[in-house]
Amino acid sequence: MENLLTAKDVSHFLGLSMVSIYRLASDDTPEDERIPSFRIGKQNLRFKESDLLEWIAKRENKKSLEKPEVSKAQKERHGKR
């Protein structure tokens, strides 16, 4: 059976506040940024561990693709400090 996490579990795992977790799981968050989750009843938000790990991996890949290149001049200035 899949390991299910609570919002509190995810909060501790990611080092984010509970408010941030609920915001990132909200329908108001763009789909490509949203943490996959589902509800058990009206208030019990749950996260599949495998979905969370996949979400993290996608965000890490996205960030690595978005990192700006450091120019040669910037490298030289940084190295002279």
Distance of alpha carbon 51 from alpha carbon 5, whole angstroms: 10
pLDDT band at residue 77 using 50, 70 and 90 as cut-offs: low
Residue 46: Cβ within 10 Å count: 16
Kindly report, residue by residue over 57-66, the tens digit of the pLDDT. 998 887 776 6
Distance of alpha carbon 64 from alpha carbon 35, whole angstroms: 19
Report the run of H or E that residue 24 belongs to, with start and end.
helix 18-25
This prediction has a pTM of 0.73
Residue 9: Cβ within 10 Å count: 16
Least confident residue range of 22-26, 45-49, 54-58, 77-81: 77-81
Kindly report, residue by residue over 11-32, the tens digit of the pLDDT. 999 999 999 999 999 999 999 8
